[in-house]
Amino acid sequence: MTTYTHRYLVRIIMEAETPLAVGSGERDVLTNQLVATDCNGLPYIPGTALAGVLRHALEAEFGEKPVQQLLGFQGEKKEKGNDDGQGSRLILSHAQMVGHEGKPVDGLIEIDWDSDFYKPFQTLPVRQHVRISHKGAGEDKGKFDEQVVYKGTRFCFEMELVSDGNSNDADAWKKMLELFQSPAFRIGGGTRKGFGNLAVVKCKTAILDLKNNADHLNSYLNKTSNLNDSFWNQYGDCKKSNNNSDGWINYELHLEPEDFFLFSSGLESDDAKMIPVVEKTITWDKNRKMGIPTFTDEQILIPATSVKGALAHRVIFHFNKNNDVFIDKQPSLDELKEKGYFIEIETKKNEDRFQSIVTKGNPAVRALFGYSAKGVDGQWGKVVFSDLFKDSADTTPKKLLNHVAIDRFTGGAMDSALFNEKVIYGKGITYNLTIHLDKTSLQKDNAKEEDVKKYIEAFELALDDLKNGMLPLGGGTMRGHGRFTGTITKDGKELKNEH
């Protein structure tokens, strides 16, 4: 029988560098997906969400069997009703929100909902989404929305590993701490469309030998589960990880609008039927020991979903073009399958099968951006985007544009066809977006190196179109909005079209 003599402990405070969407699985009259909230009505991250991310990362590093010894597994039932399963040796708390005093809100407390800090959490931002077809229009039943937590919100949690002190546990513990400090660490829903990027703000760790050190034993016995326990006052900060995201390709986009652009909120105001999406964020005063949080004014937002959707459609175009797949000379199903297309794609009634195969079954899009699960199938994307917040919405130049639909027969205005939109004028302002591509995972899931090169080639051609103004972003692109030009770097070097 194993005697567990050691305890690996850590207390981590993380800050949401992008909005966070850890769903509760519930909905209300205002949104399709609510975020998880604790007993106080404040957002939190369930320990199960943290455990799931850890298990996935550790299995990729050490394999399934060693991770089962750490995080447990469900065994098969035997004849006498017992099973050979094992419980987890890793203990995780929920990640509770850090309050206005810089301390975690742990347990049921009285919240001053009228304060400047807590009041905005009564009405969290709601993101509007629409799935676009290959024809550039919204798909049937493709409209949905979801609630998110403000960028800058901080969370605190504790983690404990029960161990006998062996070196394998020490290696796994080190890997777990590196994971939380990795730039690629994301949690919750929508991690591939801009959400869930968390960065470690403060980290304290302790390794206790309960068998040979009486002070360690007494300290551990007196420790409580409260996240504000004074136990951590005696320990120093974690060492900074040298994890530099090896195996990832980092693209930096430096783009300037040619004139107007509009990423719509899906709402209207008193003076416009279409208005840009804006959100508040939280900033922390670093001069204070624990930091003091304040909400910014509403900021202009470029949602990562809009950038991802546009690039995905353009990747389809370039991959099809490079493989001589055109509407006027359609290859046979066998030829498409040989080129890597997924021909078993489900089609709706009256939907063209060829169109579905070369778009939804496009191998480059499936490999780079993932695809939804059918049964046990499904794969997440290898390209990670982040939302971009830029300047105060109050000081950013805007323009109110009026439109009217003209009757082609009479040349006059059509009845009820007058509308207007409020657009952003961004000329002269540079917008910097970051995109990460997990090349290692891409190679693992697609064994042929030549296929991986083709996927990345199509992706970089789409990026080239974006920087040259040939791939507009946002709404009203057919009305001249959303053209950006600039430069793109790949791992620090300027990306030039060599394909």
Q: What is the pLDDT of residues 405-449, one digit of tens each?
A: 888 888 888 887 888 899 999 889 999 999 999 888 888 877 688
Q: Over the stretch 12-56, which tens digit does the pLDDT of each residue have?
A: 999 999 999 998 888 777 788 899 999 999 999 999 999 988 888
Whether 245 shows a pLDDT value over 90: the answer reads no
Residue 65 has pLDDT above 90, yes or no: no
Range of lowest pLDDT (58-62, 156-160, 271-275): 58-62
Identify the pLDDT of residue 417.
Answer: 80
Residue-level pLDDT at 496: 79
Residue 287 pLDDT: 59
Residue 114 has pLDDT above 70, yes or no: yes
Tens digit of pLDDT for each residue in 390-402? 878 778 888 998 8
pLDDT at 316: 95
| Residue 360 CA to its chain's centroid (Å) | 22
pLDDT tens for 119-139 read: 999 999 988 777 776 666 667
Q: Distance between CA atoms of 105 and 226, rounded to whole angstroms?
A: 10
Q: pLDDT averaged over the chain?
A: 87
- Using an 8 Å Cβ cutoff, are 155 and 136 in contact? no
Total residues belonging to the chain:
499
* pLDDT value for 288: 55
State how beta strands 431-438 and 248-257 pair: antiparallel
Which whole-number Å values give the CA distances from 246 to 184, 426, 441, 443, in the listed order?
Answer: 10, 35, 11, 14
Q: What's the pTM value of the predicted model, to 2 decimals?
A: 0.87
Q: How many CB atoms lie within 10 A of CB 403?
A: 13
281-299 tens-digit pLDDT = 999 976 555 568 999 999 9
State the residue for tokens 């105001």.
269
CA 46, distance to chain mean position in Å, is 17
pLDDT surpassing 80 at residue 497 = no
What token pair was written down for 448?
Answer: 């042929």
Cβ proximity of 358 and 336 under 8 Å: yes
- Tens digit of each residue's pLDDT (9 = 90 or more) over 215-237: 999 999 999 999 999 999 888 88
| Contact yes or no for 254/487 (Cβ under 8 A) | yes
Task: Tell me 188's DSSP state.
Answer: S
**Residue 391 CA to its chain's centroid (Å):** 22
d(CA 192, CA 379): 11
What percentage of the chain exceeds 90 in pLDDT? Answer: 50
Pull the structure tokens for residue 125: 């931002």
Alpha-carbon distance of 359 to 352, in angstroms, equals 11
80 SS3 class: coil
pLDDT in tens, 194-204: 899 999 999 99
Rounded Cα–Cα distance for residues 450 and 171 (Å): 35
pLDDT (average), residues 235-249? 75
